[in-house]
Amino acid sequence: MKQNLEQISSSLRGLFSYDEIVLGVNHRCNLNCEFCYIDYDNSFETNEMSMQDYRNLLMQARDLGVRTYILAEREPFMTPSRTFNVINLIRQVYSSEKSQDAEIFLVSNGILADENLQEAARQGVFLDTLAFSLDGFDKTHRNLRRIPYDIKGDIAEKILQTAKKYKEYGIIKRLGMNSVLTNKNYQEIPKLIEHAHKNYPFDMFSIDVFNENPKKRNGHLKTNKKQFQEFLKETSDISRKKDIKTELIILGNRQMRPYLQWARDFGFLRGESKIDANLFYVDDTQEPFRIYYHLFPTEYVRSVRVGSDGFVMGIGREIMKGDYRKHSIGNVKEKPLKELWDEVRAKSVPLTVEEFYF
Work out which of 75, 103, 135, 234 binds ligand SF4, going by CB under 6 A.
75
Taking the complex as a whole, the smallest distance from the CB of residue 2 to ligand SF4 amounts, in Å, to 40
Taking the complex as a whole, the smallest distance from the CB of residue 133 to ligand SF4 amounts, in Å, to 6
Check if the beta carbon of residue 337 is closer than 8 Å to that of residue 348.
Answer: no
Residue 206 lies near ligand SF4 (rule: CB under 6 A)? no
Nearer to ligand SF4, 29 or 221 (CB): 29
Nearer to ligand SF4, 108 or 303 (CB): 108
Residue 32 lies near ligand SF4 (rule: CB under 6 A)? yes
Q: How many residues bind ligand SF4 (CB under 6 A)?
A: 9
Residue 33 lies near ligand SF4 (rule: CB under 6 A)? yes
Q: Of 305, 313, 315, nearest to 252 (Cα)?
A: 315
Taking the complex as a whole, the smallest distance from the CB of residue 315 to ligand SF4 amounts, in Å, to 15
Taking the complex as a whole, the smallest distance from the CB of residue 208 to ligand SF4 amounts, in Å, to 10
Subset of residues 276 to 315 that bind ligand SF4, contact rule: CB under 6 A: none
Work out which of 12, 38, 238, 319 binds ligand SF4, going by CB under 6 A.
38
Taking the complex as a whole, the smallest distance from the CB of residue 334 to ligand SF4 amounts, in Å, to 27
Q: What is the 3-state secondary structure (H, E, C) of the chain?
A: CHHHHHHHHHHHHCCCCCCEEEEECCCCCCCCCCCCCCCHHHCCCCCCCCHHHHHHHHHHHHHHCCCEEEEEECCHHHCHHHHHHHHHHHHHHHHCCCCCCCEEEEEECCCCCHHHHHHHHHCCCCEEEEEEECCCCHHHHHHHHCCCCCCCCCHHHHHHHHHHHHHHCCCEEEEEEEEEECCCCCCHHHHHHHHHHHHCCCCEEEEEEECCCCCCCCHHHCCCHHHHHHHHHHHHHHHHHHCCCEEEEEEECHHHHHHHHHHHHCCCECCCCCEEEEEEECCCCCCCCCCCCCCCCCCHHHEEEECCCCEEECCCHHHCCCCHHHHCCEECCCCCHHHHHHHHHHHHHHHHHHHHHC
Tell me the window of 29-37, 242-250, 274-282, 334-342 that interacts with ligand SF4 (CB under 6 A): 29-37
Q: Residue type for 69, please?
A: Y
Subset of residues 97 to 136 that bind ligand SF4, contact rule: CB under 6 A: 109
Tell me the window of 27-35, 43-51, 54-62, 307-315 that interacts with ligand SF4 (CB under 6 A): 27-35
Work out which of 21, 22, 23, 36 binds ligand SF4, going by CB under 6 A.
36
Residue 319 lies near ligand SF4 (rule: CB under 6 A)? no
Taking the complex as a whole, the smallest distance from the CB of residue 328 to ligand SF4 amounts, in Å, to 19
Nearer to ligand SF4, 7 or 43 (CB): 43
Residue 234 lies near ligand SF4 (rule: CB under 6 A)? no
Nearer to ligand SF4, 179 or 328 (CB): 179
Residue 29 lies near ligand SF4 (rule: CB under 6 A)? yes
- Distance between CA 108 and CA 25 in Å, rounded? 12
Taking the complex as a whole, the smallest distance from the CB of residue 297 to ligand SF4 amounts, in Å, to 28
Residue 74 lies near ligand SF4 (rule: CB under 6 A)? yes
How far lies 35's CA from each of 155, 178, 181, in Å? 19, 14, 10
Residue 31 lies near ligand SF4 (rule: CB under 6 A)? yes
Taking the complex as a whole, the smallest distance from the CB of residue 303 to ligand SF4 amounts, in Å, to 19
φ, ψ for residue 308, nearest 5 deg: -65, -15
Residue 83 lies near ligand SF4 (rule: CB under 6 A)? no
Distance between first and last Cα of the chain: 8
φ, ψ for residue 198, nearest 5 deg: -75, -40
Taking the complex as a whole, the smallest distance from the CB of residue 127 to ligand SF4 amounts, in Å, to 18
By CB under 6 A, name the binding residues for ligand SF4: 29, 31-33, 36, 38, 74-75, 109
